Structure 1
């Protein structure tokens, strides 16, 4: 394997000069830099990134953490997050993906292993992880959940506003008996989306019936089972807001399985706007939460923090958007 010392010997310069030339140092004259780069190319020189990492005290690894990968993280949410981050992180970095709940303690999370961390936070239980990372002086960007820490870059969507908009849409279409299928208990997204539901109902002086509030688990099966419970009511709701699209798809299937139709008998509205939402029958009306866009912004800000440590924290909101399709019926 060709080394920097080999190139230095052939070019009749020091290995320090070769190193500087290969790293585009302004201390090296342009003709010398070009000569060394051409020689390195001819010799098929490949940098030793492990050695370089030791010298620069960098791991060339970015950690992408979720509260949990196996519990409550839908496949589309997981994919969109990785897709967004990966579109920004170039080949100079390795992307390490893990759930926080995989760790018994955080001793393995240190600056020697990670140049920076992106956390897709779904629960308050992540706070211990966040403060561990801050204590270790690892650059971190937190996505998806509002964190009251001024040092942090915090990027999220306004879920409460988005769900409120969804309920407003149902009310504008004549619905009064509106149910909600909630997400995982304890998740911030569950709380925020219910807040939007409650606000819209109260703003229009509509009663919130306890048997119209059903717990789900952010997956299709729980949406299916929750809808079965709602349909068992003496007076089933005319519309159901599902706290994510996976549960909305499960709920739609439960309606069909009971011999009813969406939206003729029950209107359904979701949240997230996953790829499948446009291809259900009928096409699902939902709130678009731009997870991929949030993840892209998170990765851009993290790279900036790695390049220039000590930047001020900030909170950035990315707007949700109601996507009106065919799963809501207008009542006359």
Structure 2
């Protein structure tokens, strides 16, 4: 049987609004009354109706993360870090590995408060809307329609090769999939070519 706020109010001998305020940790409810209500709610097995809360607050406290490809180990680590940081906030995270448009439709149904996208080498056709949107990708690809976090692979590769060169290594080989349709790989290759160390062509 589903326990409602009205059930808790009847058991606690207080009003419906008092229970609602107490469960939302409102300062308008005395601490001893709040503790009593919370204890009763736990004993009765009360579970908040998040759908109803969204209708009232217009805030789902959910962030959607779209990851169109799950092969990359580095990005899987990043997903874990994002999840860890999210756990420190009132927000929850939903991860979707579906294609972009399907993920967007799913998150629209959930009325998420924001969306994070791991862009990789996909080409987006996203129109600005009321949902905050940010991408982990390559800057300059979206005509400033939405913010992009660009880790600057070119600079990172350049610094990595120069570091190895500084240690005395003179024969440094680049192994990677150099593809003109993959901006991440092209950035890495350009950083490799600009390095100071004596390098060999990519393989």
Give the shorter-chain TM-score range.
0.7 to 0.9
Question: Which whole-Å CA distance do the structure 1 matches of 2:104 and 2:137 have between them?
Answer: 21
1:119 aligned onto 2:120: no
* Alignment correspondent of 1:197: 192
The structure 2 residue matched to 1:88, chosen from 76, 82, 85, is 85
CA displacement, residues 284-327 of structure 1 (integer Å, 9 cap, x when unaligned) = xxxxxxxxxxxxxxxxxxxxxxxxxxxxxxxxxxxxxxxxxxxx
Offset of residue 179 of structure 1: 5.3
Assess, with a 3 A threshold, how the Cα gap between structure 1 residues 115 and 174 changes in structure 2: closer, same or farther.
Answer: same
- Secondary structure (helix, strand or coil) at the match of 2:95 reads strand
Q: TM-score, normalised by structure 2?
A: 0.75
- Secondary structure (helix, strand or coil) at the match of 2:123 reads helix
Is residue 66–residue 97 contact of structure 2 (8 Å, CA) maintained in 1?
Answer: yes
Counterpart mapping for 1:248-263 below 5 A = none
Gaps of 5+ in 1: 214-226, 228-332
CA displacement, residues 58-110 of structure 1 (integer Å, 9 cap, x when unaligned) = 444321113x31xxx53413421321122123386241322445x37955553
Assess, with a 3 A threshold, how the Cα gap between structure 1 residues 184 and 59 changes in structure 2: closer, same or farther.
Answer: farther
| Structure whose residues are more often strand by fraction | 1
1:165 aligned onto 2:159: yes
Question: Which whole-Å CA distance do the structure 1 matches of 2:184 and 2:3 have between them?
Answer: 53
Which structure carries more relative contact order (alpha carbon 8 Å, separation 6+)?
Answer: 1
* Alignment correspondent of 2:170: 174
Question: Which whole-Å CA distance do the structure 2 matches of 1:60 and 1:43 have between them?
Answer: 25
Question: Superposition RMSD on alpha carbons, in Å?
Answer: 3.3
- Secondary structure (helix, strand or coil) at the match of 1:157 reads coil
* Alignment correspondent of 1:30: 31
Counterpart mapping for 1:176-255 below 5 A = 178=173, 181-200=176-195, 212-213=201-202, 227=203
Assess, with a 3 A threshold, how the Cα gap between structure 1 residues 79 and 189 changes in structure 2: closer, same or farther.
Answer: same
Q: TM-score, normalised by structure 1?
A: 0.49
- Secondary structure (helix, strand or coil) at the match of 2:117 reads strand
